[in-house]
Amino acid sequence: MSTGQVVERMSGDTFLIQDAIGEKVGKIIQLLSTFFGGFIVAFVRGWLLTLVMLSSIPPVAVAGAIVSRMMTTLSTKMQAKYGDAGDIVEQTIGTIRTVVSFNGEKQAITTYNKFIRKAYESARREGAVSGLGVGSIMAILFCSYGLAVWYGSKLIVDRGYNGGIVITIIMSVMVGAMSLGQAAPSITAFAQGQGAAYRMFKTIERQPCIDVYNTTGIILEDIKGDVELKDVYFSYPTRPEHLVFDGFSLRVPSGTTMALVGVSGSGKSTVVSLVERFYDPQSGEVLIDGVDIRRMTLGWIRGKIGLVSQEPVLFSSTIRENISYGKDGLNLEEIRRAIELANAANFIDKLPNVQCEIKMYIMLILLLTHS
């Protein structure tokens, strides 16, 4: 699942779910109560004419079920298209300097327009289905009114009904049926919310291959820090046909420093990703002190590994909160000690803006507080 799709789930789908479980719930309860109340009055006043008018209910129910099913499907497709468009926006804004430096604004807009047009076409189809569905339901109801007037006149002549009874029955059924018709937008919102909830719960209940909350596994009593990659075969999930490592082996003994040098895409960052267990290799082993990290408790082993990336990302909070991130109970004295160990005490309060070098220092301090 891409970042744009996750953002779409959290923004678009949550809005649809909120719309479905919000005020429309109370509204549809009111409309359905009016519907049943109207038909109860109609049955009490004249059951024969009411039964004739009820002949319109099966076609209305069938049309409503078809519209609801189609709306759920079209809503799912439309939100998927918006997710693809969101990917383009997220990538463009995230790398805006690169886009501008290569005059790629028009290309980004063209690509975004291509995806948003697909979403627009899905929205048009959804609107057409909604309009035709509601229109067909109302057409059936109005036909039933004409049938009721004709049959009511026959009852006045043949069964001794009077005009007041016929009008009472027709108006009661009409008010009840109109309430059912007014419930159509709420039913549409429920259908869209159902599709959004399906996608949302599918995302929430998705079981990751690497579960950080799994507490089963080995915790080493005494960790030395020997790291070894043994005969590793690995490709990223997004490009399974491209092998990054083809039988790759590497050993870093405890207490030594190693630098990995190579061209872009040669697998330097991939080594770190495998040691941190962001991914698992398709074949081979990643060992720490001779133990496969897949057998270790994931949260514990990540707590033993420090990582300062090339372009660290800080949270929008204070430096103190960033330093204490991930470790509860840090007091100010411990934070100051870590700042001094990182040789950052002289300048950490001087700059109005935190530059990239300062971010690296803060990440280093964060690692020191965990050690």
Mean pLDDT of 56-77: 78
- Shared fold status for 3-204 and 227-303: no
Determine the straight-line distance between the first and last CA of the chain, rounded to whole angstroms: 34
In the block, residue with structure tokens 């870093």: 252
Positive or negative torsion for Cα 183, 184, 188, 191? positive
Residues 6+ apart with CB under 8 A from 298: 210, 211, 212, 214, 217, 277
Residue 104, Cβ neighbours under 10 Å: how many? 16
Residue type, position 179, single letter = S
Mean pLDDT of 241-245: 88
Over residues 190-223, the pLDDT tens digits come to: 887 888 888 888 878 877 788 777 778 888 888 8
346's tokens = 């002289």
**Domain boundaries, given as residue ranges, for the chain:** 3-204, 227-303, 319-370
Q: What is the mean pLDDT of the chain?
A: 81
Of 354 and 22, more confident: 22
Q: Is 80 exceeded by the pLDDT of residue 131?
A: yes
The pTM assigned to this predicted structure is: 0.51
Q: Is 90 exceeded by the pLDDT of residue 233?
A: yes
In this predicted structure, what is the pLDDT of residue 81? Answer: 82
Of 89 and 310, more confident: 89
Grade residue 363 by pLDDT with cuts at 50, 70 and 90. Answer: low
Q: Is 60 exceeded by the pLDDT of residue 18?
A: yes
Of 8 and 298, more confident: 298
Mean pLDDT of 69-79: 79
Q: Is 70 exceeded by the pLDDT of residue 352?
A: no
Residue of 312, 314, 313, 289 lying closest to 301 (CA atoms): 289
Specify the CATH architecture of the domain 227-303.
Answer: 3-Layer(aba) Sandwich (3.40)
Of 338 and 172, more confident: 172
In this predicted structure, what is the pLDDT of residue 182? Answer: 74
Among 143-147, 263-267, 339-343, the minimum mean pLDDT is found in 339-343
Nearest-angstrom CA–CA distance, 2 and 90: 10
In the block, residue with structure tokens 């259908």: 191
- CA triple 348-354-356, angle to 5 deg: 110
147's tokens = 């049938």
Specify the CATH architecture of the domain 3-204.
Answer: Up-down Bundle (1.20)
Residue of 272, 271, 283 lying closest to 234 (CA atoms): 283
- φ/ψ of 266, rounded to 5, equals -80, -10
